[in-house]
């Protein structure tokens, strides 16, 4: 009876917030040691390793407490862990772009212009200007936060689908009969 009332929501919230904070701390460490934007994008994959660990630990803790965990329950738990973590990370990201490192937008624009000139040195000034105007529309703090959140949620969905496979624990029919 007690197992039916065990809710995965508490586990998802706890693990999501803990691992969201860990991602934020990791991001702040990269900022403090002055990792450039291009390298920071490569280090960003560590965020997915962090959330993967959060999903594994959260599902394991829930499965150990409950007598069973279906694939759907595991997937839902993993996805919610990612959702809660990345909501927290999105809030932090917006604050980062607006208050902590507002110069990052200009850095992105300069890097974009440099790459355009390297890839196509024959671009006219008007073509470069048009391309940069388009890029600037999507590099506002709000848009970067939204796109980052959407990307992180898609990755969370995929990771939860995969991780849940390894944590399915069905009830033993012999235990139910007893």
74-114 pLDDT per residue, tens: 999 999 999 999 999 999 999 999 998 888 888 888 888 88
Percent of the chain scored above 90 by pLDDT?
A: 51
- pLDDT of amino acid 121: 79
Confidence (pTM): 0.83
How far is residue 73's CA from residue 122's CA, in Å, rounded to a whole number?
55
What are the average pLDDT values for consecutive 10-residue runs of the chain, which has 178 residues?
64 96 94 79 87 96 87 95 97 94 84 82 81 82 93 96 86 52
Give the distance, in angstroms, between the CA of residue 67 and the centroid of all CA atoms in the same chain.
30
Answer for the pair 123, 16: CB distance below 8 angstroms, yes or no: no
Q: In angstroms, what CA-CA distances link 145 with 19, 95, 139?
A: 18, 9, 9
How far is residue 62's CA from residue 73's CA, in Å, rounded to a whole number?
10
Q: Which residues pair with 169 in a beta bridge?
A: 69
């Amino acid at each position: 009876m007690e197992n039916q009332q065990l809710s995965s929501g508490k586990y998802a919230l706890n693990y999501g917030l803990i691992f969201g904070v860990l991602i934020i701390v990791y991001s702040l460490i990269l900022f403090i040691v002055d990792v450039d934007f291009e390298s920071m994008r490569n280090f960003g994959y560590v965020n997915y390793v962090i959330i993967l660990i959060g999903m594994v630990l959260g599902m394991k803790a829930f499965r150990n407490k409950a007598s069973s965990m279906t694939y759907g329950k595991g997937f839902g738990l993993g996805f919610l862990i990612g959702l809660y973590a990345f909501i927290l990370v999105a809030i932090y990201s917006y604050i980062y772009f607006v208050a902590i490192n507002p110069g990052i937008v200009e850095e992105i624009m300069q890097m974009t212009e440099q790459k355009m000139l390297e890839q196509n040195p024959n671009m006219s000034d008007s073509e470069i200007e048009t391309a940069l105007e388009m890029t600037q529309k999507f590099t506002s703090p709000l848009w970067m936060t939204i796109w980052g959140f959407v990307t992180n949620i898609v990755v969370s969905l995929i990771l939860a689908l995969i991780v849940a496979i390894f944590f399915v624990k069905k009830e033993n029919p012999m235990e139910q009969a007893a």
